[in-house]
Structures are given as C-alpha cells and as structure tokens.
C-alpha cells in the first residue's frame, strides 16, 4: 500500500507515459507555442490605442487564469498528471510572457518616451523575458510612469505565477496521485 493511498484502498500501480505519449505531448506543446508566437508577431500591436492595450492585457490575464484553472482540472483527471502538468506549464508561461510583450510593444508605440527606444515585437518579447527571469540587462528600460507601472505589475504577477500557479499545478499532480492511490513515478508520470 502506498503512503499516499487512502486507508483500506488498494494501491494502484504507477502509470508511466509511453514514448509515444511523451512525443505527442511535446508535439502539442510545440504547436501551441508556435501558434502563440505566430499570433503575437501577426497582430499589429504597434498600431493600437491605450485603452486597447490595457484591455488586451486585462482580458489576456483573465484568460491566463481561466486556462490555468482548466488545466488544473485536466491534471486532476489525467492518468498521467505530471505529463499533463508539464504541458500546462509549457503552454501557460509563454502565453503569460506574450501578453506582457504585446503590452510593451503597444505602449512603446503609443508613447515613444515610454521606453529608452522603440520596441519591435522581438524587443518586447526580449524585454519581457529579461524582466521575468530577473536578469534585467538594462539595455531596454521603462522611462514613463505608465511603462514603469506595467513593468512593476509584471514583476508582481511574475512572483504570483512562479509561486502560486506552479504550486497549484503541482498540487493538482499530488492530488491526482493521492486520488488514484499511487505515488508519483517521477517527473513525467
């Protein structure tokens, strides 16, 4: 009997993903990220208005929360919760980063003084990743109060995403294993 199983419940064997399941998950993740990045580069963010940029970010963050909640449900019901969790993180984090990148591109377009220079789509993505990773090379810096507020908002939500969302997703994996009466077989099961 597993230490995580309910008393009196037989321990179920751990389910390991097959190479085909891992490959299929990798394919879905790659396709999802490619679609998100293609959409990011296709949308003319440098031609939007201030209210559109703010609305884009707020609706995008709400969609991110809904996506994570939906993925938690999938993780709990999945026979391979850790693999599903890896997929959830691999698609949610890029969406989160692209939301802020798009906001920075729109903000820089609306007010050229928002950042030290004009931001292309690539510059916006690069800046977002440097803020998320806390590297902050200093080559792109927010100059206006609005830009600094959005960057501060990203820093705060980065901490929430890194702390809370990751904890919730891995908590769903543990919950799924306990519900099934199995121990997690490792990072992919």
* Winning range, highest mean pLDDT, from 5-14, 71-80, 121-130, 180-189: 121-130
DSSP assignment of 37-76:
HHHHHHS-GGG--HHHHHHHHHHHHHHHHHHHHHHHHHHH
pTM of the model: 0.80
Percentage with pLDDT > 70 across the chain: 88
- For 171, the token pair is 């908590």
In order of 11, 13, 25, 71, 186, the CA distances from 92 in angstroms are: 32, 30, 14, 9, 22
Which residue pairs from 148-156 have beta carbons closer than 8 angstroms and sit at least 24 positions apart in sequence?
A: 150/57, 150/100, 150/103, 150/104, 150/107, 154/100, 154/128, 155/131
User: pLDDT-derived band of residue 141, with 50, 70 and 90 as boundaries?
Assistant: very high
Domain boundaries, the chain: 50-180
Please state which of the ranges 73-87, 105-119, 162-176 shows the lowest mean pLDDT.
162-176
142 strand-pairing partners: 115
Q: Across all residues in the chain, what is the average pLDDT?
A: 85
List the CATH code of the domain at 50-180. Answer: 1.10.287.70
Q: How far apart are CA 41 and CA 134, in angstroms?
A: 24
Question: Which of the two residues, 99 and 17, has the higher pLDDT score?
Answer: 99
In order of 11, 13, 25, 169, 177, the CA distances from 83 in angstroms are: 20, 16, 8, 11, 12
pLDDT exceeds 70 at position 185: no
Please state which of the ranges 55-64, 99-108, 173-182 shows the lowest mean pLDDT.
173-182
Question: Which of the two residues, 38 and 160, has the higher pLDDT score?
Answer: 38
Q: Is 13 exposed, middle or buried (0-12, 13-18, 19+ CB in 10 A)?
A: exposed
pLDDT digits (tens, 9 = 90+) for 110-122: 888 999 888 999 9
User: pLDDT-derived band of residue 136, with 50, 70 and 90 as boundaries?
Assistant: confident
């Amino acid at each position: 009997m597993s230490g995580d199983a309910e008393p009196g419940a037989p321990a179920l064997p751990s389910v390991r993903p097959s190479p085909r399941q891992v490959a299929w998950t990798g394919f879905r993740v790659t396709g999802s990220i490619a679609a998100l990045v293609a959409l990011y580069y296709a949308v003319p963010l440098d031609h939007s208005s201030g209210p559109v940029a703010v609305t884009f970010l707020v609706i995008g963050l709400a969609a991110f929360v809904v996506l994570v909640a939906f993925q938690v449900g999938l993780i709990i019901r999945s026979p391979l919760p850790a693999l599903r969790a890896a997929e959830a993180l691999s698609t949610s984090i890029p969406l989160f980063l692209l939301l802020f990148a798009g906001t920075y591109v729109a903000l820089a377009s609306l007010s050229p003084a928002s950042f030290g220079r004009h931001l292309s789509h690539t510059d916006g993505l690069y800046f977002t990743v440097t803020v998320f990773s806390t590297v902050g090379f200093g080559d792109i810096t927010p100059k206006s109060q609005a830009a600094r507020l959005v960057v501060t908002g990203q820093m705060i939500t980065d901490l929430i995403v890194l702390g809370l969302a990751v904890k919730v997703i891995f908590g769903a994996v543990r919950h799924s294993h306990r519900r099934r009466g199995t121990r997690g077989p490792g990072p992919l099961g």
